[in-house]
């Protein structure tokens, strides 16, 4: 541990965390856009652009199988910093060799970058408990900042790629993203180290064992399936925005305004959370907020005018940020210390996979009826809320003490 990281006040550490997380998530959020632009602007077919874009996102599902290293390493910061560097190297190499090699080689390089992608999202987040300390209010304020980094990264990443691609080239944009991950790696090394020393590898459960522990601990189980369900549901919003412009009597380009409203609503909510952290039990809060997201989807479904739809998209973004903050709190407060890093990555990786699947499902359903994707999304989310309520009652009846928060490091 460096003297800087050991003695820095929590506020300074949080500033470095926000900067590191934003840089890492900007790179993660903009990579696919850079790859698609690289292929299409060079005359490549759309199917190749989609295939190479999927090459960096699909491997996120395998992230949990390398996340165990965060919990077994002497210093988890090093693991995450190395992952940032590897992501940058893989992305840089892929875009630089693309014009000269068989696309399969580019796909393999992108898959290598995507494999460590979850460590740039869920892995980075595993640093928060060491920064915020055991105080729950301080933890939840830090989690609000964490939610904000996703919104900022998801907005800045694609925008930065678009600007640099127009001013220079998609290759230059991708290299800029790689530079962002290198900067993130440096900042991550300056974050506080975990209070506990690393445990021996044999003491840390393997990925499948970790998933089994998640599924057997009530709050973590509910965190997992509610996160997956809500991610599937809100992924229908961009597809619906495009399909509904005709019914709302606005130009097709107005779909971008609707999706921007969703993002801005999420950013605004994350700002509020940093000032007024979520109160109460995170487990129950997740369930209530998932139901609120479902209600926002229903309101969007019923919107008959563009301005009402705009408000509904902003509301859905805000409520999803609140829900996301509640899931972060649940992961921090209910995950056992020996698997905390793996829990963050497992839930994050499955969330990303669910979002991709939700987009694909919405795209398939919207051709049948414009409002079918949101209808299915609202029904599915409401059903998951019902399962969560029943799950909690049954767990409490079986063992009233089994679902309590665990001590924080």
> For every one of its 409 residues, what pLDDT tens digit does the chain have, with 9 covering 90 and above?
343 343 344 568 888 999 999 998 888 878 888 888 888 888 888 788 878 888 888 888 887 887 777 777 778 888 899 999 999 999 999 999 999 999 999 999 999 998 888 888 777 877 877 787 777 788 888 888 888 888 787 777 777 888 888 888 999 999 999 999 999 999 998 888 765 555 555 667 788 888 899 998 889 999 999 999 999 999 888 888 888 888 888 887 788 788 888 888 988 898 898 888 888 888 999 999 999 999 999 999 999 899 999 999 999 999 999 999 999 889 888 888 778 778 888 888 888 888 878 887 888 888 888 889 999 999 999 999 999 999 998 887 765 655 656 555 5
DSSP 51: H
409 in any annotated domain: no
Residue 117 to residue 224: CA distance in whole angstroms: 19
Last residue of a domain, one of 203, 232, 257: 203
Last residue of a domain, one of 172, 203, 234: 203
The number of folded domains in the chain is 2
Residue 36 to residue 33: CA distance in whole angstroms: 5
Return the CATH number at 384: 1.20.1250.20
Crossing angle of helices 218-234 and 282-302, in 10° steps, is 20
191 and 229 in a single domain? The answer is no
251 and 398 in a single domain? The answer is yes
386 in any annotated domain: yes
Residue 123 to residue 80: CA distance in whole angstroms: 7
Residue 176 to residue 299: CA distance in whole angstroms: 40
Residue whose C-alpha is closest to residue 393's, from 188, 218, 163, 191: 218
355 and 393 in a single domain? The answer is yes
Last residue of a domain, one of 184, 203, 222: 203
Token digits for 66? Answer: 């390398």
193 in any annotated domain: yes
230, 293 contact by CB (below 8 A): yes
298 and 395 in a single domain? The answer is yes
108 and 139 in a single domain? The answer is yes
Give the pLDDT score at 4.
Answer: 39
- Tokens 């800087």 correspond to 4
Give the pLDDT score at 156.
Answer: 78
101 and 184 in a single domain? The answer is yes
| Cα separation of the two ends of the chain | 17
134 and 144 in a single domain? The answer is yes
Give the pLDDT score at 381.
Answer: 97
Give the residue numbers spanning the domain of 78: 1-203
Give the pLDDT score at 313.
Answer: 94
CA distances from 100 to 97, 103, 112, 329 (A): 5, 9, 19, 47
6 in any annotated domain: yes
112 and 166 in a single domain? The answer is yes
237 and 385 in a single domain? The answer is yes
Token digits for 336? Answer: 């056992």
Give the pLDDT score at 109.
Answer: 95
185 in any annotated domain: yes
337 in any annotated domain: yes
Q: pTM of the prediction?
A: 0.80
Long-range pairs for 4-9: beta carbons < 8 A, 24 or more residues apart: 4/190, 5/189, 5/190, 5/191, 5/192, 5/193, 6/192, 6/193, 8/190, 8/192
Handedness of CA 189, 65, 340, 328 (dihedral sign): positive
198 and 234 in a single domain? The answer is no
Residue 73 phi/psi, 5-degree rounding, is: -70, 150
The percent helix, strand, coil of the chain (3-state, each to 5) is 80, 0, 20
212 in any annotated domain: yes
62 in any annotated domain: yes
- Burial class of residue 182 (count of CB atoms within 10 Å of its CB; 0-12, 13-18, 19+): middle
Q: How many CB atoms lie within 10 A of CB 193?
A: 18
185 and 247 in a single domain? The answer is no
40 and 124 in a single domain? The answer is yes
DSSP SS3 for 149:
helix
């Amino acid at each position: 541990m460096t003297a800087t990281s050991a003695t820095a006040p929590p506020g300074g550490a949080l500033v470095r965390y926000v900067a590191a997380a934003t840089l890492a998530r900007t790179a993660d959020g903009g990579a696919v856009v850079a790859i698609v632009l690289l292929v299409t602007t060079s005359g490549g077919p759309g199917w190749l652009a989609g295939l190479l874009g999927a090459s960096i996102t699909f491997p996120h599902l395998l992230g949990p199988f390398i996340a165990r290293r965060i919990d077994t390493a002497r210093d988890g910061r090093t693991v995450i910093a190395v992952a940032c560097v590897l992501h940058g190297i893989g992305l840089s190499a892929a875009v630089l060799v693309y014009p000269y090699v068989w696309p399969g080689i580019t796909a393999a390089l992108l898959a290598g970058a995507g494999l460590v992608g979850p460590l740039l999202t869920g892995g980075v987040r595993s640093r928060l408990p060491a920064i915020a300390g055991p105080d729950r209010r301080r933890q939840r304020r830090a989690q609000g900042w964490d939610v904000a980094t996703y919104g900022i990264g998801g907005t800045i990443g694609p925008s930065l790629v678009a600007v640099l691609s127009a001013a220079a080239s998609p290759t230059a944009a991708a290299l800029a993203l790689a530079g962002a991950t290198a900067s993130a790696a440096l900042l991550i090394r300056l974050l506080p180290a975990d209070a506990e020393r690393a445990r021996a590898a044999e003491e840390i459960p393997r990925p499948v064992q970790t998933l089994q522990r998640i599924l057997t601990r009530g709050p973590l189980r509910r965190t997992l399936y509610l996160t997956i369900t809500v991610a599937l549901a809100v992924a229908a919003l961009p597809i619906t925005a495009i399909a509904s412009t005709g019914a709302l009597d606005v130009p097709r380009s107005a779909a971008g305004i609707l999706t921007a409203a969703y993002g801005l609503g999420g950013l605004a909510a994350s700002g509020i959370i940093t000032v007024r952290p979520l109160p109460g039990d995170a487990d129950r809060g997740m369930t209530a907020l998932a139901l609120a997201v479902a209600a926002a989807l229903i309101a969007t479904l019923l919107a008959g005018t563009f301005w009402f739809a705009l408000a509904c998209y902003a509301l859905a973004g805000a409520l999803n940020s609140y829900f996301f903050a509640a899931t972060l709190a649940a992961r921090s407060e209910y995950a056992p210390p020996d698997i905390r890093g793996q829990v963050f990555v497992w839930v994050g990786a499955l969330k990303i996979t669910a979002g991709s699947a939700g987009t694909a499902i919405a795209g398939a359903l919207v051709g049948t009826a414009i409002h079918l994707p949101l209808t299915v999304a609202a029904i599915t989310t409401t059903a998951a809320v019902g399962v969560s309520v029943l799950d909690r009652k049954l767990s409490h009846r079986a063992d009233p003490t089994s679902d309590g928060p665990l001590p924080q490091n």
